[in-house]
Each structure stands twice: as C-alpha cells, then as structure tokens.
Amino acid sequence: MTWEIAVILALVAFALVQFMRERWPTDLTGLTVFAALLVLSQLPFETAFPETRDLLAVFANPAPLTVAAMFILSNALERTGALTRVLGRLENIGNLGPRGLLLAMMLGTALVSAFINNTPVVVVGLPIAIHLANRAGVSASIFLIPLSYASIFGGTCTLVGTSTNILASGLLADTNHAPFGMFETAAVGLPLLLIGTAYVVLMAPRLLPERKTLAQDLTEGGFSEYVVEASVQDGSMAVGKSLAEANLGPRAGLRVLEVLRRGEPYFEPLDTLRLRGGDRIVVAGPPEAVAAVIAMPGVQLDAEKDLAESGEGVVTHEGRLAEAIVGPLSEVIGRSVRELNFRQRFGVVVLAIHRRGTNLSRGFENIPLQPGDTLLLLGPGGAIKALRANADLLLLDRPRVPTTGQRARTPVVLATLAAVIVAATFDLVPIAVAALVGCVFLMVTGALKPRQAYRSVDWGLLFLIYSTLALGLAMQQTGAAEYIAGNFALWATEVAPADWKPFILLAVVFILTMAVTELLSNNATVVLMMPIALGAAAELGLDPRPFAIATTIAASACFSTPIGYQTNTYVYSAGGYRFTDFTRFGLPLNLLYFVGAMIIIPLVWPFHK
C-alpha cells in the first residue's frame, strides 16, 4: 500500500464516519472531501493524486446533469397535479380489505416510481396511503413503510426510476462500457418487485406495529392539555417580570406558544421579554398548570376550552389541529420555528415536532427543521386551508391542491416526459440530452417557470454526487480502488472453488453494497462501490456488467434502516415509527432481495462473454 492509497482510504473513512454521525449535512461532508482532494492535488512534489483539472472534470459528467433534469421533470408533473390524480385513483377502488388495498397501493406506487423520482411520489402518496389505511381499519403505520418500499421497487425497473440508476449508468459509460438501456434493469428489478410486494402484502399486517401518528401520540398518550389565551392586566404582579419569573414557563409546566403585544406577535427571543400591561399570552400545559395561570392575580383568562374532553386533545378557541410534513425542497429547511416567525408566516402555531421516532414537544422552537419532520399544527381553518397549496409544508390529510392554471399544463408536461423516455429508450439521443431539452421546452412554453425549475433541483444532492465522483476518480488514479478490488478478488480466489469464484465475488459485492447503503446515501454508495466492483471483475477476467447491475440494485435495497433512503426518512416521521420497526420488517426483505438477485443476475448477464 502506497501513502497515496492510505490517504485516500483515510478520506473515505472520514466521509463514512461523517455520513453516519450526521453532524454535518451530507453535501458539506462531500464538499469537504472534495476540498481536501483539491489541496492534495497542489502538492509540489511527485504524486499520484489527480491534478486539479482532472478533479474539476467531474463537473462535465452528464449523469448529475441528467439527475437534475429529472428532478425538474418530476416537479413539473407534481405541480400540475397529474401525479396526485394518478395516485388519487387508488382512493376510488372498492374496499378490498387491508391486504387488497395494500397490494393496490404498492403496485400503483411502483408503476409511477418507475418513471418519476421516488421522493415526490412518496410525498404525494403519504395522505393517500393514510386514507387507504383508515378505510382498511388499520393504523397508517401498516401502509407507510410499504409505500416507501414500493417506490424503491419501482425505481429499480428503469433507467430514470431513480437517480442511482442514472448515476450507475454514467459510471459504467466512463469506463468504456455500454451504459444501461432504459429497461435493462427491469430484467432483475421486475421479478424483485413481485417478490418484495408479495412479502410486504403478506407480512406487513403481522410484523409492522400499530403506531400512532403524531397527533394521536400526543393526545392519546397522556399529553392531553389545555391551550389558553390570557391578558396581563395593568398593575399585575407579573408586569416587569420575565416569563420564568412570572411562573409562565417550563418550570411551571407550561409552554408559551405566542406573546402578542399591541395586537402584534412578539418576535424577539422570549427569554428576554419583560411583561407589560396589555400583553396577551398563549400558553399550553396540563390542567393543573393552566389552573395556576387562571388563579394568578392580575392575569385575566380570555378564552379556554378543554379539548381533551372533546376527543381532540389540543385546541384553542380559534382553530383546529393538522399534521404537516416538511417538503424535500422546502424553504423552511435549516431554519427554526422561532426564526421563521411561524405564526406570522403561516398563520398557525407549532405544538410539537416528530423527528425520526422522537416526539419533540418541549424546547423545539430553536431546533432547525429538517426534510421529513412532521409538525403538529394548530390554527384557524382558513390558515390550514391555505397550507394546502403550499409546497413547503405538506398536509397529511390529503394531497396538495394545484391551481387551475397548473392543471391546464398537464398535457404538455406528460407529452414532454413521454418524449424523453421514448428518445432514451430507442437511443435517438443520450438520456442527458433528451432530459435537458425536455426541461428547456417546459420553461420556454411556460409550463414551468425558470425559478420553479431551479428550486426543484436538490442542489445538496447534486454537489454530493459531484464530490463523491471526485473521490471515486481519486480512488481510481491513486490505485486505491484497484487495491480494494484486488483484495476482494484474492479473497474469492482463496476461499472458493474455481467454478464458484464469480458467484462468490458477486455475492460479496451485493452484500457489501447493500450494507453500506443502509447507512449512507444510495448515490454516494454507488459511486464508491462501482469502481471496486468493476475492478474486482477485471481482476478475475469477468464481464463487468453483472457486477455493475448488482451494485446498482443493491445500492437501492435500503430496507433495514430509515436513514439510508430519503423516502424511508419521510415515512419514519409521518408513521410514528421506531428505528427497530424498519430493522425487524426490512431484514427479511433484504435477504429475499439478495437471494433473488443472486439467482437472476447470472442468468441474464453471464459472467463470461
């Protein structure tokens, strides 16, 4: 091992640790590694590190540009409401029982996910899945993990089904091999879809728990509380005191939702507030804490309703409860509830946040919001209704409602997407060209505004892809990829009979990729594993295509954790799941996927040409 290989492997280890610890955003970790590679390329002595111009050449790679274009096309389809109407047809099917409705939902989701980016399909499908679960008489948790898995199943069946397939095809083309055809991966993806769907439909009602949603968990699980609005009277003992000094804070068992001064919300930090006569305070807490507020001299109760008795659990005199999820490209991401002036911006109050299996009902006001966070909202009916057209917060009771003008553009968007797929299927033009031309056509015709198109791209993911491509290039040029691949091939040579060496190597590649993708982004996984898989095949003189297919399929096979695939993260919060729910239900599916892939891949793509 050379020192250059050691440095690259250290950078890979650093990236893996940062990805798993999640203290930094994944794109920041990638850019940090990219910056380190740029510095190493400037060393003044002879080195095997790629030069700066080689590293920057990754920005000319067409695969990330294709991914960006497919984000735009998917967003255009979502904005028109076409995606909602297609999935919404599931709500009109008859009452087929829990398993029948589950099967219909999974097949419909998989079909759409084969041609549209998985994340918007799941986001749009969340309220539909919840509706179907209610009709079936079961908890939404029985339907939401299957919704995410169905999108993964469908995404593996076509080139454009997921960004992982597009990226893997580009990496294959970079090594002078033919890229994937539009439906090439369907030869293994479709049988795995049927196997996976059969498992989920049969076992979901048995293995998935009956979890409560955020609103149910907080109101039925002993969190039931009063929300009241009180006014500080002139001459009150509370005047001039902070909220804590006036016993209106956490020490008294209360949450201050809002302070109004002269009829306007007080937006400065509440811990610096000194109460004045006429201030109106909205507080929430258990009955005994609210009773103490009512009994305070000089504090007059404006309105009070006990929603626990009404079955709602939490209400105010003015509004109603709603659950919403933070969208994947929402402008609220990275900003706290307090920083956003949430009441002023959306007209609702945030009562609690559910994030990755945890209910944050205290002290969440200063926590930056993340994609997939589920918010319990309280506000007037008009404000809740206005949120239905908002792309930042997606209500879980039913899908976002597009405007009439957006619906009118549906034929143009559908025709454009169909043209892109046909052009790529018959090799009329490269997929990158077809997708980019399709995006430009939508903007020129007014079907999508340029600003909307730019906002629909997940730029963080794009920079993560570019960064990992640079790391992959460095692994190849320093010999790190060859070093790892050589050890894989050597191990297969030593432990397996001659006839079984290719199969053993294929199994190792699949299992390792599947394990890594449970912890990392699927795109980062495929970029890191593809050079190793292709190099190991070359060491044994085998056709690289079955190993490229195995890496691609395994990189999307994230079933055992909620953190490796974005759609899993979304249903994680919305369904009230725990981490172990994914592990218990997903591990058998990982095993089925592995066995099915090991049988199908060598039959369709032989090891020897």
Domain spans, the chain: 64-212+407-459, 224-310, 320-395
The b/e string for 197-224 (b: 16+ C-beta within 10 A; e otherwise) is bebbbeebbebbbebbbbbebbbeeebb
Which among 364, 357, 367, 369 is positioned nearest to 329, based on CA atoms? 369
pLDDT the model gives residue 306: 35
pLDDT < 50 stretches in the chain: 221-224, 303-318
Distance CA 128, CA 107 (A): 14
Cβ atoms < 10 Å from Cβ of 446: 10
pLDDT at 224: 45
Residue 320: in which H helix or E strand, if any?
strand 320-326
Domain covering 320-395, topology? Alpha-Beta Plaits (3.30.70)
Taking the CA atoms of residue 48, residue 52, residue 53 and residue 55 in that order, the dihedral angle to the nearest 10 degrees is: 80
Say if strands 320-326 and 374-379 run parallel, antiparallel, or are unpaired. antiparallel
Rounded Cα distance between 347 and 385, Å, is: 11
Alpha-carbon gap, residue 409 to 448, rounded angstroms = 9
Report pTM.
0.81
Q: Which two tokens stand for residue 230?
A: 């009180």
Residue 352: DSSP 8-state: E
Is the separation of the CB atoms in 511 and 474 below 8 Å?
no
Please list, in sequence order, all residues whose beta carbon lies within 8 angstroms of the beta carbon of residue 584, skipping any fewer than 6 positions away.
Answer: 207
**Whether 536 contacts 485, CB under 8 Å:** yes
Whether 224-310 shares its CATH topology with 320-395 is answered yes
Beta-carbon-side half-sphere exposure of residue 250 (alpha carbons within 13 Å):
6
CA distances from 330 to 183, 190, 326, 590 (A): 32, 33, 6, 32
224-310 belongs to CATH 3.30.70.1450: yes
Those residues whose C-beta lies under 8 Å from the C-beta of residue 151, and which sit 6 or more positions away, are 109, 110, 113, 118, 121, 122, 125, 567
